[in-house]
Amino acid sequence: MSDSPLDMTKCTACPKSCETDRLNRKLTPCRVGEHVRVAGYYPHKGEEACITGTTGSGTIFFSGCSLGCVFCHSQEISHAAEGSKFTPEQLASVMLELQAAGCVNVNLVTPSHVLPQIYEAWSQAKLRGLTVPVVYNSSGYDSVPALRHVDGMVGVYLPDLKTMSNDKSWKWFKTHFYPSMAREAIREMHRQVGDLVIDPDGIARRGLLVRHLVMPGATADAYAVMSWLASQFPGTAVSIMSTYRPTLKEPNDPAVVDIARRPTKKEHEDVVARARELGLRVVSAR
Containing H/E element for 128? none
The DSSP secondary-structure symbol of 136 reads E
Report the mean per-residue pLDDT for the chain. 91
Within a domain: residue 180?
yes
Structural domain containing residue 74: 36-282
Number of domains the chain is built from: 1
Within a domain: residue 82?
yes
Within a domain: residue 241?
yes
Within a domain: residue 1?
no
- Banded model confidence at residue 76, pLDDT cuts 50, 70, 90: low
Q: Given this model, what pLDDT does residue 182 score?
A: 97
Within a domain: residue 12?
no
pLDDT at 170 over 80: yes
Question: How many residues make up the chain in this entry?
Answer: 286
- Banded model confidence at residue 1, pLDDT cuts 50, 70, 90: very low
Within a domain: residue 182?
yes
Question: What's the mean pLDDT in 117-139?
Answer: 97
- How many percent of the chain have pLDDT more than 90? 72
Question: What's the mean pLDDT in 82-111?
Answer: 95
Question: What's the mean pLDDT in 85-101?
Answer: 97
Task: Choose between 51 and 260: higher pLDDT.
Answer: 51
**In this predicted model, what pLDDT tens digit does every residue of 31-70 receive, in sequence order?**
777 789 999 999 999 999 999 999 999 999 999 888 888 8
Q: How many CA atoms lie within 13 A of 114 on its CB side?
A: 34
DSSP labels, 17-81:
-----GGGT---TTS--SSEEEEEEEEE-SS-HHHHTTT-EEEEEES--SS--TT-S-HHHHTT-
Beta-bridge partner residues of 238: 210, 282
**In this predicted model, what pLDDT tens digit does every residue of 128-137 receive, in sequence order?**
999 999 999 9
pTM given for the model: 0.93
Within a domain: residue 231?
yes
Within a domain: residue 31?
no
The CATH number that applies at residue 194 is: 3.20.20.70
